[in-house]
Amino acid sequence: MILPLSMMMFSGRPQKSLQSLTNKMKEYCMAVKPISIREMEKQSDDIFETVVVMSKRARQINQNRFMEQAIKDAEEFELGVLDEIPAEPKENYEEETKSVTQAMEEFLDGDLKWQTVPEEEI
C-alpha cells in the first residue's frame, strides 16, 4: 500500500504536511555554509592553486590526526601479534571539525603560507 506524502511516517509519527517533513529533515541535515570565490581570490589569484593548497593542508591535517590517534592508542595498551583489536566504544567518539573545513578556514584567515616551486627545480 502506498501512502500519500501527507501521511508518511517520520521518526514513528505521522507528518501532517510536506512542509513539516521538510522542516524535520532540515533539523537532521548538517548546515552547509557557502564560501565566496572572491574571498578565496583575495589570498591567491589562481583558483586551481587555491584548491591545491587547501587540499594539501586537509591531507596534512588528516595525517596528523591519524598519527596522534595511533600514538595515543599505542600508549594505552600493548597488543601481541595475534590479539584482537578492541572496538572503540561509541561513547568515546569525539566530534572534530572536518579537515577540509579546517583547511578552508585557515586559508581564508590567511594562516596558510605556501610557495610555488619553479619547474626547473622539480
**pLDDT score at 109:** 92
At 57-67, the pLDDT tens digits run: 999 999 999 99
3-state secondary structure of 77: coil
- Grid coordinates standing for 24? 524535520
- Grid coordinates standing for 37? 570565490
* Residue 28 phi, psi (nearest 5): -85, -20
SS3 of 13-50: the string is EECCCHHHHHHHHHHHCCCCCCCCHHHHHHHCCCHHHH
Whether residue 53 is predicted with pLDDT greater than 50 in this model: the reply is yes
